[in-house]
Structure 1
Amino acid sequence: MTRVRVVVSGFVQGVFFRESCRQEAGRQGVAGWVRNDAAGTVTAEFEGDPAAVEAMVAWCRRGPAHAAVEGVEATTLEPTGSTRFEVR
């Protein structure tokens, strides 16, 4: 198991980024959370199989159809044992 926090910048709020992220996490079988930040970024944490977590990080580099992702900062964290994914 691995856990990664990403901060996604660009035009990423108001484009269904969080809901699309939740759906993709479900497809990948990844736990964690996603939220909008006051700075206009989106922060998410993904936990699960390393390949699935990497797929989520790659998805964040694209985002949903109407997003314009400019950057993704990823930080590896200690797994917490999360078993579900939530939108905050």
Structure 2
Amino acid sequence: MTVRRILPGLLVSTLFAASALAAPLSTTGVVKSIDQAKDDIVLQSGETFTLPTKFNFKKLKVGETVKITYVKQGNKMVASKVEAMK
């Protein structure tokens, strides 16, 4: 096989693998604590999520059920969206 035949397949495989790793995940849970100094929230399940620096913490309350959309970055779960569940 030549490099011209292998390279396109390798590039496509790499792109699919990279997009699968960066796919957003979501979870729901009850807010246990909010730490504005660290830009994070902890759910009652023990999961900790880092929030964007300009996140409006006034929208969150301890004891509230939320849906969090996030991505994993190393050992951290970085939230892109936090919604109160009704």
TM-score of the alignment, normalized to the shorter chain, above 0.5: no
Structure showing greater Rg: 2
User: TM-score under structure 2 normalisation?
Assistant: 0.30
User: TM-score under structure 1 normalisation?
Assistant: 0.29
